[in-house]
Amino acid sequence: MALRVWVRSPRNLVILFLGVTFVLVAALGWLGSRLFQQDRALESQRVRERLEHAADLVAAGLQLRLAETEEALTRLSTVPASELPIASAAYVDGQLSRDALVVALSDGGVRAYPPARLLYHPVAPSTPEPARGAFARGEALEFRERDYAGAIGEYRRLARSDESATRAGALLRLGRTLRKAGRPDAALGAYDELAQLDSVPVDGLPAGLVARCARLEVLEEQGRVAAATREAGPLRDDLYGGRWPITRAAFEFYAREVEGFSRSDGEPVAASGESAVAPARALAGGVAWLWDATQSEASQLSASGDREIVWIEDRPVLVVWRSSAERTVGLVGGREHLEVDWLGELEPILVREGVAVALSDAEGHGVTTDTTGATAVASGATGVRVVRAAAETRLPWTLHVTSADPGGDLAQLAERRRLVTWGLVALGLLVLLGLYAVVRGVSRELEMARLQSDFVAAVSHEFRTPLTSMRQLTELLASGRVVSEERRGQYYDVIRRESERLHRLVEGLLDFGRMEAGALEFHWQPVDAVALTRNVVEEFQAELEDGGHQVVLEVPQAAYHVRADEDALSRALWNLLDNAVKYSPDCKTVWVDVERGDHGVTMRVRDHGAGIAPEERRTIFEKFVRGAASHTSSRKGTGIGLAMVKHIVEAHHGEIEVESEVGEGSTFTIRLLTEE
Ligand code: ADP
């Protein structure tokens, strides 16, 4: 009950509406944020599914490649030794682009395909060398008797031997002795000859390497630095190009020697700042690891073969091998090989699925160069990463699959979010607009209600004053106490005037009621505006009480005919005159004039009264509206006079206008079209 009463008040209704709106907007906001969350969860689910699918494809691709590799290695491990070089070379050509090699390990040592990719061998090949006794005589002359000439002669004799190993041993010693004998040029010649024997072993090392390095030393001793540098370059290339099957220790020793000549800053450096031979070193390390693994009795590894990621000097190396009774054949590949030959082959899948793949070992160390951040802790809005552990895929690596373009995934999300946000904003605006309309409507309603109640009060007041005076005068006359004939006459006159005023008031209200209902009928006929004005002014003046007001009329002699309803137009003019007098208490004159313009007649009522403020000039033509002038001078009135004037003038297709200045007075102008 109390609630029903509370709700009846428009102000409370607005408060209620505001509350409901607030709850609505809050609910909308909450719904929006829930929607975003759900959308985001859905999006990451979608991305995850895509990545899972891609991860399966990638794993399958890698498994296939691994199976093919193992099959090929099995085949190579069983082919006859004579076919091995050709078969291996064919496999390498077809499958390995770079940074990888195939090695065959057997009791006879290590063979690498292509040989140039193996910097050093785990073991030096055991090659027969001449018995040391062959050089015993020469060495006795050289070391014990210091008879260099004799030793040189002896070595020269041996250097003509048919056996290349003996020749090599002799030339090495010849060079050495010639140096000692202070004949460096001749020593250079001997070394040069020795270098021709190239891979023939001398003291367990290739003759070519030993001879060319010795030449560098001699040249340096002679101070021929330019010549030494010139020769060091090709020697370095051969050394790094795996020309001779040497052990790691020999390789490191000669590499240092050669670098001392060819360049002052050590090993060549790649753009990345890392040694350019680092990948080759890692491969050689991988081969050494495989050698140790397969040779060691204690090895835990499967006898038939396996696959492994080994770390050599911080570089990951993939080693896959198969063993047969004759030999073990292994593929040893570095990071680049993995990226180019393994992942590179899967590129079409990666592009199609829009994913990036990175490989890591079981501990999570990146095996491939991680440009995608896949192995890092996934960040970003969706941040989805799919991992396939090595144990799960039976691959040597753990796979990390991420979206290749997380920004692209997010763009769709952002687009949807933008749409929803705009939708919510539009909805919110609509609600606010609705709120504004309701508040405005209610306040108008309130204003109208106030105006109406003012109107009722004003009308009652308007009625009461003439009624009171009429009642008093009638009582006085009825009592017979007014003796003077003249006084009685005056009283009757007042009663007549008051009853006419009442009559006009009632007529006015009735007409206004009809106008409002659209039921007032106009009787159109040609009317002389000049005559009509004159009549109205005369009547009005006769009506004026003795307030001392006078109306100055300025009209032409001619008649201006307009099509009009005479009564209605007279009432409009009367209302304007009535206001002019009412609202100019200090200036006792008002002016009325009629003029003829190009198209019509202008009727003007002018006063020097209170004037009307600019903000009131539009509203005073609305019903029940009373302006500041009516309040300050507490003039009688109902607030419908000007509304009637406007209604009448508009029915005549005319215009009503007001010009006014507060404190200066006002001019109301009616323009009507003349009757042609
Ligand atoms: P009422 O005169 O009964 O108040 P009207 O509709 O005739 O109602 O006029 C509306 C208002 O316009 C008046 O209350 C008054 O404030 C203002 N007004 C009208 N005519 C004049 C005038 N000649 N001078 C100053 N104010 C005027």
Confidence band for 547, pLDDT divided at 50, 70 and 90: low
Q: What's the mean pLDDT in 119-146?
A: 82
How does 402-426 read in b/e, with b if 16+ C-beta sit within 10 Å? bbbebeebbeebeeebeeeeeebee
CA distance 251 to 257: 10
- Give residue 416's pLDDT: 82
**Both structure tokens of 597:** 């313009």
Amino acid making up residue 219: L
Mutate to test the pocket of ligand 1, among 463, 583, 592 (most ligand atoms within 8 A of CB): 583
Ligand 1 atom with the shortest distance to the CA of 636: 3
Q: Check pocket membership of 638 for ligand 1, CB cut-off 6 A.
A: yes
Residue 317 near residue 101, CB atoms below 8 Å? no
Pocket test for ligand 1, best of 576, 590, 623, 630 (most atoms within 8 A of CB): 630
For residue range 261-284, what is the model confidence (pLDDT) as tens digits?
765 444 554 444 456 788 888 999
Which residue from 652, 630, 651 is spatially nearest to 640, judged by alpha carbons? 630
- The pairing of strands 525-528 and 561-564 is antiparallel
> Tell me, what's the pLDDT at 379?
40
Distance 651 CA to ligand 1 centre (A): 21
Are residues 551 and 577 in contact, defined by beta-carbon separation less than 8 angstroms?
yes
- Protein residue closest via CA to atom 15 of ligand 1: 627
pLDDT (0 to 100) of residue 116: 82
Q: Is the model's pTM score more than 0.95? A: no
Measured between alpha carbons, how far is 292 from 286 in angstroms, rounded to an integer? 10
Write the residue with the smallest CA distance to atom 8 of ligand 1. Answer: 639
Distance (Å, whole) CA 338 – CA 298? 30
How far apart CA 400 and CA 174 sit, in angstroms, is 62
Instruction: Tell me the average pLDDT of the chain.
Output: 86
pLDDT, position 54: 92
Average pLDDT over residues 71-93: 90
Residue 318 forms beta bridges with which residues? 309, 333
Q: Which two tokens stand for residue 604?
A: 């003007």
pLDDT by residue (tens digit) across 167-213?
Answer: 999 999 999 999 999 999 999 999 999 999 888 888 888 999 999 99
Ligand 1 center to residue 583 CA distance, Å? 7
CA terminus-to-terminus distance, the chain: 68
Count of C-beta atoms within a 10 Å radius of residue 94: 8
Grade residue 567 by pLDDT with cuts at 50, 70 and 90.
very high
Tell me if 626 CB under 6 Å of ligand 1.
yes
CA of 631 to the centre of ligand 1 (A): 10
Whether residue 408 is predicted with pLDDT greater than 80 in this model: the reply is no
Q: Which ranges in 399-484 belong to alpha helices (H)?
A: 406-479
d(CA 369, CA 49): 25
Q: What percentage of the chain exceeds 90 in pLDDT?
A: 36
Return the pLDDT at 1. 60
Q: Is the CB of 630 under 6 A from ligand 1?
A: yes
CB 418, CB 39: distance < 8 Å: no
* Residues 311-316, mean pLDDT to the nearest whole number: 89
642 lines ligand 1 (CB under 6 A): yes
Lowest mean pLDDT among 173-182, 260-269, 475-484, 558-567: 260-269
Give the residue among 16, 10, 18, 7 at the shortest CA–CA distance from 446.
10
Sign of the four-CA dihedral 373, 376, 382, 386: positive
Residues paired with 330 in a beta bridge: 103, 321
Lowest mean pLDDT among 62-76, 306-320, 401-415, 462-476: 401-415
SS3 per residue for 234-273: HHHHHHHCCCCCCEHHHHHHHHHHHHHHHCCCCCCECCCC
What number does the ligand 1 atom closest to the CA of 643 have? 6
Check pocket membership of 564 for ligand 1, CB cut-off 6 A: no
The ligand 1 atom nearest the CA atom of 638:
3
**Antiparallel, parallel or unpaired: β 589-596 and 550-554:** parallel
In the beta sheet, which residues pair with residue 528?
Answer: 561
Predicted pLDDT of residue 380: 43
Q: Does 292 score more than 70 pLDDT? A: yes
Q: Whose CA is closest to atom 14 on ligand 1?
A: 626
Question: Does residue 665 line the site of ligand 1, with CB under 6 A?
Answer: no
pLDDT on residue 299 = 59
214-242 pLDDT tens trace: 999 999 888 888 888 889 888 988 888 88
pLDDT over 70 for what percent of the chain? 93
Q: What is the pLDDT of residues 369-396, one digit of tens each?
A: 755 554 444 444 456 788 888 888 888 8
Q: Give residue 635 CA to ligand 1 midpoint distance, Å.
A: 9
pLDDT tens per residue, range 571-620: 999 999 999 999 988 888 999 999 998 888 999 999 999 999 999 998 99
Structural Rg of the chain based on CA atoms: 60
What pLDDT band is residue 300 in, cutting at 50, 70 and 90?
low
pLDDT for 298 equals: 58
pLDDT-based confidence at 467, cuts 50/70/90?
A: very high
Say if residue 104's pLDDT is above 70.
Answer: yes
Judge if the beta carbon of residue 627 lies within 6 A of ligand 1: yes
Distance between Cα 508 and ligand 1 center (Å): 16
Contact of 649 with 668, CB cutoff 8 Å: no
What is the distance, to the nearest Å, from the Cα of residue 551 to the centroid of all Cα atoms in its chain? Answer: 77
- Is the shortest distance between the CB of 607 and ligand 1 below 6 Å? yes
**What's the CA-to-centroid distance between 627 and ligand 1, angstroms?**
6
